[in-house]
Amino acid sequence: MTDSRRWSNLLSTCGGIVVLLGSFDPLEGSALILPGTGLLALGSYLGHEDRRTITYRTWSFVLVGLGVGALMGLSALGGVGGSSGHSAWWALLAAPYVIGWSIDIWGPGSPRWLSVAGIAIGVWYLSILGMMLRRTAIEAHPRTIVPALAIAAIGIATIVACVVRLRKEPPPTA
């Protein structure tokens, strides 16, 4: 195994782990997910993977960067919705973050373990909906359901995409 291939494997593995760790809290975890997707893109490049995978990982990193930048910018402006004075629709500027994160988990070149872990993260996002529904029933704040529904939708989409990917690609033989 060449040195560049070893570095590629190390960077891709570390990037995948960092992305998964950041995924447990989708908003605060953006500080981990951004460098994690960068490591995945760099690992693909150093591993001389096919052009499609390198392009895919690079665009995923760009999408995450744009979305995280939007999150930080909106946060600096006081957030969205509620009493912030900014429409909740401005939160759509963060959509590239979610799209880039998700496609890095189940897209081409992703190892099976990352897609299996993506299913677990999707289930976690569904449990966030359950926690928010229980909390909403106690505190009677129906506006808190909308972000929880968005997170649950991301969880369902990630689970479906990971299952489809895992079914398409047979497990490696020993």
Distance CA 97, CA 166 (A): 23
Check whether 34 has a pLDDT greater than 80. yes
In this prediction, residue 142 carries a pLDDT of: 60
34 versus 82: the higher-pLDDT residue is 34
Task: Name the pTM for this structure.
Answer: 0.83
Q: Which of 21-30, 35-44, 145-154, 155-164 has the lowest mean pLDDT?
A: 145-154
- How far apart are the C-alpha atoms of 165 and 174, rounded to whole Å? 20
The domain locations on the chain are: 3-168
Comparing 28-37, 59-68, 100-109, 133-142, the range with the smallest average pLDDT is: 133-142
Name the 3-class secondary structure at 15: helix
CB 122 within 8 A of CB 156: yes
What does the DSSP assignment read for 18-38? Answer: HHHHHHTSTTTTHHHHHHHHH
